[in-house]
Chain A
Amino acid sequence: MRTVPTSDIRDVIAEIAVKACMEVDVSVTDSFAKALKTETSELGSYVLNQLIDNYDIAKRERIPICQDTGMVTVFCSVGQDVHLSGDPVEDMINEGIRIGYEKGYLRKSVVRDPIDRVNTGDNTPAVIHYRIVPGDKVTVTVVPKGAGCENMSKLTILKPTQELSDVKSFVKKSVFEAGANACPPFFIGVGIGGNFEKVAILAKEAVTLPFTERSEIPYVAKLEDELLAEINELNLGPQGFGGKTTALGLRVLVYPTHIASLPVAVNISCHAVRHEKAVI
């Protein structure tokens, strides 16, 4: 049994929440540089260049990449040999968000109730997904995702007799309809299988996977490649102004499902794909 004080989780969350909002992974900027070489749209290339400059300014001057610093999703995996000590972990995760958003001058975008809509003033609470896993570590992934792209995400439950091609059509239609609202070029997470809530979480998790890698399941890896290529033929382009660069990454996660179901979820991330992981 290893003891992890929940205050450690708080401190880590506070730190990585800020970092996530100021810095994208180098794989993102690399993919932009690559896209610039193939983008033929003049407006599209202008947008890509501006966005590259923006990442640079954000990182260098510690200004959030985007003003929408999101409602935070936290994936928290707790090793079953860990004893969490101190204040309740949920409170400490939210305290970490509170501190990070205050000290990092990040935007407070959460309202306390969906109908009365009074801002909580500290960007809490987060949406937290816990998982008990083997081992004696705690892994937290912070995903400060903006609403522009979150609002454009979609979920459907197809009939079990439908084909993979129907899954693809749904994904492409969802991406096309998201259009400029979700700030392309996108990083797209697709969930297939499970049930109503599982498929949504799969899609969100897929957004946090390294987008330069591919699934270990051969048909899923092929699907990832095909969907990405076909989405880039939609001619949405950077910011929806037209062009070849509509998505820079796409990952798919699958899960067993019911004999009567074929759930599909598409969680779109804008180009400002922000997530930070830490192991405690």
Chain B
Amino acid sequence: MEVINITTPLTTDMARQLQAGQLLLISGTIYTARDAAHKRLMGMLDRGEESPFPLKNQIVYYAGPTPPAPGAVVGSIGPTSGYRMDAFAPRLYKLGVTASMGKGGRSLEVVASLKQYGAVYLAAIGGLGALLSKHVTAVEMVAFEDLGTEAVRKLTVEKFPAIVAIDSKGVSVYERNSV
């Protein structure tokens, strides 16, 4: 298994070099956004408003953490299923997001947009929330605080592990599965 260390921002050039099956260790900044945050963000974009967090060269992490215990930076923070954001992802890739990170497969439309914009889909390991919290060194509330766990948070991460699940050529780690 090939291990690649990357530091954000993740440029399109960097994203294009990533290959399905590689293990990434991500350091830098990533933004959490899941169902409700996506829905609200789409409404804002529809009305011509600015995104409340940067999109260009950013990694969007589909995650909603547990509340931090006293003294902890963050609670348990693993990925949620990516397919539920399929309808929204192509628009974010178009606006410059270079990676989304979740778990599970994506629609053909999402794969097509990865190819079109030179972006990737990363899989964090589902149900790894306690361990992943150890790779988050700071958390900042960025938008939609009223959504609770579904708010947009800026995470500072260090060697946060994720697999390149679908690369910018459309190659997928899930494809080799067959009945």
Interface flags, A45-65, vs B, CB<8A=1, else 0: 011001101100110011111
Chain B residue at minimum C-beta to C-beta distance from A233: B179
Chain A residue at minimum C-beta to C-beta distance from B147: A119
Interface flags, B51-79, vs A, CB<8A=1, else 0: 00000000000011111110010011110
Known: A176-B179, A181-B103, A239-B125. A105 touches B66 (CB 8 A): yes
Asked if A251 is at the interface (CB within 8 A of a chain B CB), the reply is no
Q: What residues on A are CB-neighbors of B105 within 8 Å?
A: 179-181, 240
Known: A180-B105, A234-B177. A46 touches B23 (CB 8 A): yes
Structural contact, B1 and A42, CB atoms closer than 8 A:
yes
Asked if B11 is at the interface (CB within 8 A of a chain A CB), the reply is no
Q: What residues on B are CB-neighbors of A107 within 8 Å?
A: 64-67, 75-76, 149
Known: A117-B36, A176-B179. A43 touches B173 (CB 8 A): yes
Q: What residues on B are CB-neighbors of A68 within 8 Å?
A: 64, 78, 80
> How distant is A235 from chain B, measured CB to nearest CB, in Å?
5
Structural contact, B125 and A51, CB atoms closer than 8 A:
yes
Q: What residues on A are CB-neighbors of B66 within 8 Å?
A: 63-64, 67, 69, 105-107
Query: Considering only CB atoms and an 8 Å cut-off, how many residues of chain A contact the other chain?
Result: 47
Q: What residues on A are CB-neighbors of B75 within 8 Å?
A: 63-64, 67, 105, 107
Q: Bound state CA distance, A183 and B63, in angstroms?
A: 14
Q: Bound state CA distance, A43 and B80, in angstroms?
A: 20
Structural contact, B173 and A241, CB atoms closer than 8 A:
yes
> How distant is B170 from chain A, measured CB to nearest CB, in Å?
17
Partner of B127, one of A54, A61, A106, A235: A54
Structural contact, B127 and A242, CB atoms closer than 8 A:
no
Asked if B138 is at the interface (CB within 8 A of a chain A CB), the reply is no
Most buried by A among B80, B83, B103: B103
Contact residues of A between 78 and 123, Cβ < 8 Å to B: 105-109, 117, 119, 121
Q: Is the interface of A mostly helix, strand, loop or mixed?
A: loop
Asked if A151 is at the interface (CB within 8 A of a chain B CB), the reply is yes
Structural contact, A54 and B174, CB atoms closer than 8 A:
no
Q: Is the interface of B mostly helix, strand, loop or mixed?
A: loop
Asked if A66 is at the interface (CB within 8 A of a chain B CB), the reply is yes
Asked if B123 is at the interface (CB within 8 A of a chain A CB), the reply is yes
Q: Bound state CA distance, A237 and B178, in angstroms?
A: 11
Asked if A227 is at the interface (CB within 8 A of a chain B CB), the reply is no
Asked if B43 is at the interface (CB within 8 A of a chain A CB), the reply is no
- Beyond A105-B67, A176-B179, 20 extra complex contacts between A and B, CB < 8 Å: A42-B1, A50-B128, A50-B131, A54-B129, A54-B131, A61-B130, A63-B133, A64-B66, A67-B77, A68-B80, A107-B66, A117-B36, A148-B103, A148-B126, A172-B179, A179-B174, A180-B104, A240-B105, A242-B176, A242-B177
State the 8 A-B residue pairs at the shortest beta-carbon distance, nearest first. Answer: A181-B104, A183-B126, A63-B130, A58-B130, A64-B76, A180-B104, A67-B76, A54-B131
Q: Sample 19 A-B pairs with CB under 8 A, ordered by A number.
A: A43-B173, A46-B1, A47-B125, A51-B128, A53-B131, A63-B69, A63-B76, A65-B130, A66-B126, A66-B128, A117-B36, A173-B179, A180-B174, A234-B177, A239-B123, A240-B105, A240-B173, A241-B174, A272-B127
A→B interface (CB under 8 Å): 42-43, 46-47, 50-51, 53-54, 57-58, 61-69, 105-109, 117, 119, 121, 148, 151, 172-173, 176, 179-181, 183, 234-237, 239-242, 270-272
B→A interface (CB under 8 Å): 1, 21, 23, 36, 63-69, 72, 75-78, 80-81, 83, 103-105, 123, 125-131, 133-134, 147-149, 161, 163, 173-174, 176-179
